[in-house]
Structure 1
């Protein structure tokens, strides 16, 4: 019997579309459901306890309503905080997480100077520090928490103007010169940031490798699905849920560009909204 359950992608906003885009290339037959918890955006500013409660509440309803075959948490902040708890709460659902790409950065760097550009929540997380200790102890890793970049990326995606003057202060601390060496890799540790990568390249003081983990996350999803991979294209449309219930033409056009139709009806929103 054909398995029509969706693969669910979760993010606080539109940044997770970078991961969904890569997954679509590798999984052309899967039915995809994208959930943007934009009612809570930006979640990097939430107190950890409150955010964890919200994540558990959201996923209880989403898994009950949609019975996903797998879940991709396409958000560093959400997964580094709640990934372990969500896997324990829903043992029957495979979870694929998003964590800062510190290990591949440590493997690629020539100078030994790496920066991790993230939200303040991801920078604070013990999970991030443990990745550095485990995989990049031989490197100098600078953690740079941006209060505004995720929101600036959302504005950019909606077609609103975002100036270089607004972006430059958010990335300038990523660039370090030390002992004749320069930062050569910046880890984009928020799925929103790759949407601004071309802008970053233009305003950066010198060229660096802007490391986007989206492709690696998509490959991990393929491995997790294993024999559950769909072999026949789904007849059901790929859908998106915005927990705010907003229906703005610019957002609907953007989602359509990623092959997603906005799901109608607030009755489908998580109960906490």
Structure 2
């Protein structure tokens, strides 16, 4: 279990990470690799997953409720490990908790624009992310600065398959081919994984790309950038936990769905063991 709040020092408090389901574990993996001494709390809002097709006000309401729960658990920082929730709610979360370092995720349009050779970038994301004002503003800004063209592809149903653990089935590959083929045909040589769930099907994506006869297609995942930004904010606030203090770093999971979905996800997707419990928010 994560230590009971209050913690011995502010730096010893945990980092709260949340997503609509298991996708944010791809971000948690980068956080654990870069900040191995930190206590982590992960919350999967699986009862409300996926967020991609839900109204923005619903996603904002859920995100605020989850953030408030994590703050009550003593979180010293929050990571909104969901592209859709970042688009819909991070402004409100920051307004409600101005004292906390808060990091969101956004599709890696800037690194993709720098990586492309053809000048065309495919963006794989949920419908809600691609329709969000924050995303569209970022797209326009990056396109203007870089002259890159962004080809947007909503991936309806892909999050559901990943939540079910169908990472490399024939149905998942067929879905990926349906979404990726038009982007490659349109000249994209760089694909943005614009949802935190998608890195877990990266091997299948790479196989689909190879099967379509494409070469040298770059895949952009921003999980590492999120972890590095979190580290900068913690260091700047004096909140980074020293490795020499107290007991070893702990990992605790919560889910609004079933433990039988999140617990195996920690093991299968991350190779980590964690205490997991259900809650209602």
Question: TM-score normalised to the size of structure 2?
Answer: 0.86
Question: For residues 90 and 222 of structure 1, what CA distance do their matches in structure 2 show?
Answer: 19
Name the SS of the counterpart of 1:45 in structure 2: coil
Q: 1:240 maps to which residue?
A: 253
Partner of 2:138: 131
- Go from structure 1 to structure 2 and tell me whether the alpha carbon gap of 1:230 and 1:162 turns closer, same or farther (over 3 Å shift): farther
Match of 1:17 in 2: 25
- Please state whether the residue corresponding to 1:230 is helix, strand or coil: coil
Number of the residue aligned with 1:253: 264
* Corresponding residue number in structure 1 for 2:193: 188
CA contact (8 A) 1:113 1:176 kept: no
Q: Normalising to structure 1: TM-score of the pair? A: 0.88
Aligned residues: 261
With over 3 angstroms needed to count, the CA separation of the structure-2 counterparts of 1:72 and 1:191, relative to structure 1, is same
- Runs of 5+ consecutive residues of structure 1 not aligned to the other structure: none
Q: 2:54 aligns with which of 42, 46, 52?
A: 46
Distance 1:157 1:36 in 2: 18
Given the superposition, is the C-alpha separation of residues 254 and 50 from structure 1 closer, same or farther in structure 2, using an over 3 Å criterion? closer
Question: 1:76, CA displacement in angstroms?
Answer: 0.4
Native 8 Å contact 2:53 2:128 kept in 1: yes
Q: What is the aligned counterpart of 1:36 among 33, 44, 58?
A: 44
Q: Where do 5+ consecutive residues of structure 2 fail to align?
A: 1-7
Matched, 1:112 2:119: yes
8 A contact 2:127–2:155 mirrored in 1: yes
Q: CA deviation at 1:157?
A: 5.9
1:263 aligned counterpart, secondary structure: strand
1:63 to partner: Cα distance = 1.3
Deviation by residue 1:149-174 (Cα, 9 ceiling, x = unmatched): 11122233688775422332133332
